[in-house]
Structure 1
């Protein structure tokens, strides 16, 4: 009788709530992660994808960015006054005779009104540089600034390059992101790699054409973020859930290595006409391995391209030496049906939460970039080896990335992010005080 009463109660519950009995014999529909487990989520396919793109592509991406900032450094400079080659005076002695002082240092933009070493009886009235400039080549044999003489009355050109390249880069970055959403991660990665190569070739060939130089510089400003994001999105998607934080850690550490590599390569090649082409060649080398970069199966499924997504799954299985499970196509179709498609930039404003989160991400990213690249841009003003300064900055990121990823995996994403922001603020304040003193 108890059994009959139980069944009656169950029947009443189902009729009242519409919720069926949770039976241990009922098996949930397979998920995409189960397909990954069957075809291999950490096999040969993922290994070479992570090594070439998550590691090397992320490294070269940040290397290219930082090498350009180093190429835009303004070395110490002073007016060139002809005549020293006719004398036995050192550079310092000649500057004492021909360059007025401004406080404890020599003027960068003024010289005494004399043309050569025999005219010391003439006027000692300071005038603007008449014969160009000389540059301190202790660290940089040639930069964009010293080659183009973007100093003194022309120093605004450097600010224009940084300002307008970032503004144009923001607009192009939105376009690159839109291309990734509309046409896939693989075309996006191809576009970003091409932008790096084309940009670094153009900046070397066209520094005399300032608008073209700015446009070329903006290509990398636009491609930096989408390039890393497309790599990590595919790398994380094709890895099992337990090891996705590890993939993010690989990408973060590779970017730190890129900062270090930028300092080391620029130190070995202090002439920007050699260091920037090295960045272009490094990014170009990735084209030889581009066949290893797949399209996102989830993105293909969301676009209704089930057979193409299944082809990618089969390719991963073949590379890993496994077989595709029979339920793979069913899972792909389920993924496609479960995703709501939001297209276009206006989709950002489709809900209050999306607007709020997007705004917070923009602010956080802007502060992050400002904190990082302010030191890179101002590195030539420090009385130390600027290349070692960049290497040290990249080296400091390595333990920081490991710590953040460790705490994120252990305690979640929220509080480690807050703690990272607070530590960055304290570090920036400390650095500001040290530079001021």
Structure 2
């Protein structure tokens, strides 16, 4: 799509490189226009800190928090009766739970089965010395969970274990599928409707999807739907502001913009597990890590539409509005008129738009697109 094939160039090891299809600095009138508005000033600094670095940090927490919230700690069948004894937890589990081998061949207490007998009146710790152990059965009284690291997670609250152990896997599958779909759909929308609408859609879907999923854990279907909503716009949440940031900056600043985003992502993914370690409860953790993404909407004053995209659509008057907004904050005077701007691009071909269909233009390209989407 045009975002990655034309405007954005290629990221190689975090460094922005111009693609061969993109015009050079000297051939592109857009660069002269950006110099008039200021392509290295206060506006770029504010934009990069809030929307490239800040949104990357907040978005990273919103994107990754579901992984921790869906953690399944060590668990075992709850067997009533221990309260009538002085057994330790280890002694009680040894008495009431069968052993099984894990995937490394080591023996451990069963997570999903218990001995099929009543333990409520046990008074003798040597119950099995002279008696054949009974058959096992699935957990009859719910589960107990290891609370060493968390008081609760979504699976421990909803008991998504044993017969429901695929519930968590399905959540991740739905999230990945919607990410792939969103990358295609939102990328195309960015070329058709502009970067600014895609930015607002991405923030709204990602943050609201996560927050609504907090309220719907009791309904697995709705939980899956809202998790899918969040995943749908994850890629565009990071890409849209970065693309605009690169377009309005000097060429030599573009590698720094990639650094801003990487730094924000690193901060977000570092702070997030510390929050869970401190809060120990999945619900408050999800709120704390989802709301910051929505709060970025408070800085809508600095959200601009891509001037380059507006020019590519021959919307010169709207492009001048964006240039003047940048120039005002940078302390520059932008005095180019709509007629002059139209004259600069007179006779120049509009930038081609590479839609979704172009990814399937030919057998080899279609095959590679399918393989990459499936692998993701």
Distance 1:260 1:359 in 2: 37
Instruction: Return the TM-score normalized by structure 1.
Output: 0.71
Counterpart contact for 2:179–2:235, Cα < 8 Å: no
- SS for the counterpart of 2:144 is strand
Sort the Cα spacing of 1:100 and 1:31 in 2 relative to 1 into closer, same or farther, 3 A.
same
Match in the other structure for 2:116:
113
- SS for the counterpart of 1:105 is strand
Structure 2 unpaired stretches of 5+: 1-25, 102-106
Equivalent of residue 346 in structure 1, options 357, 369, 372: 357
1:164 CA displacement:
2.6
Distance 1:115 1:181 in 2: 66
Match in the other structure for 1:98:
96
- RMSD of aligned residue pairs (Cα, Å): 2.6
1:392-411 aligned at under 5 Å gives the runs none
Counterpart contact for 1:31–1:331, Cα < 8 Å: no
1:234-313 aligned at under 5 Å gives the runs 234-313=244-323
Instruction: Return the TM-score normalized by structure 2.
Output: 0.82
Distance 2:145 2:342 in 1: 62
**1:303-354 CA distance string (max 9 Å, x none):** 121100011001111111111154786456645843334364224345x59x
1:11-410 aligned at under 5 Å gives the runs 31-103=29-101, 104-119=107-122, 120=127, 124-326=134-336, 330-331=340-341, 334=344, 337-342=348-353, 344-349=355-360, 356=365
Counterpart contact for 2:99–2:108, Cα < 8 Å: yes
Greater radius of gyration (CA): 1
Counterpart contact for 1:302–1:335, Cα < 8 Å: no
**1:276-304 CA distance string (max 9 Å, x none):** 11122111211111221110001111112
Distance 1:192 1:81 in 2: 47
Structure 1 unpaired stretches of 5+: 1-27, 370-437
Sort the Cα spacing of 1:231 and 1:360 in 2 relative to 1 into closer, same or farther, 3 A.
farther
1:33 CA displacement:
1.4
**1:368-413 CA distance string (max 9 Å, x none):** x6xxxxxxxxxxxxxxxxxxxxxxxxxxxxxxxxxxxxxxxxxxxx
Counterpart contact for 1:80–1:134, Cα < 8 Å: yes
- Greater fraction helix: 1
1:260 CA displacement:
1.2
Distance 1:139 1:66 in 2: 18
- SS for the counterpart of 1:102 is strand
Distance 1:296 1:329 in 2: 19
Distance 2:371 2:237 in 1: 20
- SS for the counterpart of 1:111 is strand
- Which one has more relative contact order, counting CA pairs under 8 Å at least 6 apart? 2
How many positions carry a matched residue from both structures?
Answer: 338
Distance 1:74 1:29 in 2: 57
